[in-house]
Amino acid sequence: MKTVFKVPQSLTGKEWHYCPGCGHGIIHRLIAECMDELDVREKTVGICPVGCGVLAYEYFNCDMLEAAHGRAPAVGTGLKRVLKDRVIFTYQGDGDLASIGMAEIVHAASRGEKISVFFINNTVYGMTGGQMAPTTLLGQVTTTSPYGRDKDREGYPIRIAEMLAPFEGAAYVARVAINTPANAARAKRAIKKAFETQLNGAGFSLVEILSTCPTNWGLSPVEAMQWLADNMIPYYPLGVYKDKEGR
């Protein structure tokens, strides 16, 4: 039988600072379980974003760095070029990766940088209090799109998985969600594949994870999961967008 509440070795077990029902905690756990199962904790270096995940160094029980806003893929590149046999991952929000850090992520993907990127899409800037993100949906109200995101004013939401998959350097790109146990199980498989892709030296890997921000969405944790299913998945379809190793 699975003991559900056992803390993975790759987590410190420290209590989350995240809001109740926030997706970050769930995703940390999935990543840590994969690190345990692949037995890579001691050879892994993780990179925190600037965003609610900035304190991830408190939670992952491996070497961790904190990067400037959006620059994690560049920092990861530096690490990986020095430490070829280590496992490098970045953990980035949608503001961090798809807005200010767009240049870094595009070039890390195009270089086929052998790092794994976990991209947490919660459609808002969580940490700074719910501003618009590049992934904010059309019509969605945020503190900086107070009249609802409008295509003529704020433009269209960006689909990162679809955008990066065509890059030749990208070896594994998938989009998953954490709104149901079944989806979380799929998310975990994708995270594991991303690590394996890196371990096999196949190239760049990225998993976009649809997550929740109940606080800034103004919803209860349960409502937030439903909102994800009803609004995010239709615009951000789940699936594997690239798998070079063809598994």
Partner 1 sequence: MARVLMKGNEALGEGAVIAGCRYFFGYPITPQSEVAEYLARRLPQVDGVFLQAESEVAAINMVYGGSAAGARVMTGSSGPGLSLKQEGISFIAEAELPCVIANISRGGPGLGGIQPAQSDYFQSCKGGGHGDYRLIVLAPSSVQEMMDFALLAFDLADRYRTPVLIMSEGMLGQMMEPVQVREPVTERYEKPWATTGCINREPNIVNTLHLLPTELEDRNQHLFSKYARIAAEEKRAEMVMTEDAELVVVAYGLLSRVVKKAITEVRARGVKAGLIRPLTLWPFPDTHIQKCLDTAKLFLTIEISMGQMVEDVKLAVNGRVPVEFYGRIGVIPSPQEIERAIMAVAERGGLA
Ligand X SMILES: Cc1ncc(C[n+]2csc(CCOP(=O)(O)OP(=O)(O)O)c2C)c(N)n1
Q: Which chain residues interact with Mg ion by CB under 5 A?
A: 93-94, 122, 126
Q: Give the interface with ligand SF4 as residue ranges (CB under 6 A).
A: 18-19, 22, 24, 52, 122, 126-127, 213-216
- Contact partner at residue 18 from ligand SF4, partner 1, ligand X, none, CB < 5 to 8 Å by partner kind: ligand SF4
Strand ranges of the sheet holding 116-121, from the earlier edge strand across to the other edge: 63-66, 44-48, 87-93, 116-121, 204-210, 170-177, 239-243
Residue 145 in contact with partner 1, rule: CB under 8 A: yes
- Indicate the residue among 197 and 211 with the shorter CB distance to ligand SF4: 211
Taking the CA atoms of residue 88, residue 184, residue 244 and residue 35 in that order, the dihedral angle to the nearest 10 degrees is 30
- Which helix (H) or strand (E) segment holds residue 226: the answer is helix 221-227
Q: Decide: is 152 part of the binding site for partner 1 (CB under 8 A).
A: no
Q: Is 146 in the site for partner 1 (CB under 8 A)?
A: yes
120 binds ligand X (CB under 6 A): yes
Task: Please list the residues that pair with 88 across neighbouring strands.
Answer: 45
| Element spanning 141, H or E | none
Q: 10 Å Cβ neighbour count for 83?
A: 13
Task: Pick the binder of ligand X from 43, 69, 107, 189 (CB under 6 A).
Answer: 69
Q: In terms of CB distance, is 57 or 112 closer to partner 1?
A: 57
93 vs 214 by CB, closer to ligand X? 93
45 in contact with ligand X (CB under 6 A): no
Q: How far is the CB of 72 from ligand SF4 (least distance, A)?
A: 17
Provide φ and ψ at 138, rounded to 5°.
Answer: -60, 135
- Report the alpha-carbon distance of residue 94 to residue 124 in Å, rounded: 7
Q: Which of ligand X, partner 1, Mg ion, none binds 226 (CB below 5-8 Å, type-dependent)?
A: none
- Torsion angle defined by CA atoms of residues 198, 55, 218 and 207, in that order, rounded to the nearest 10 degrees: 0
Q: Does 189 bind partner 1 (CB under 8 A)?
A: no
107 vs 229: CA distance, rounded Å? 31
Residues that bind ligand X (CB under 6 A): 49-53, 69, 93-96, 120, 122, 124-128, 133
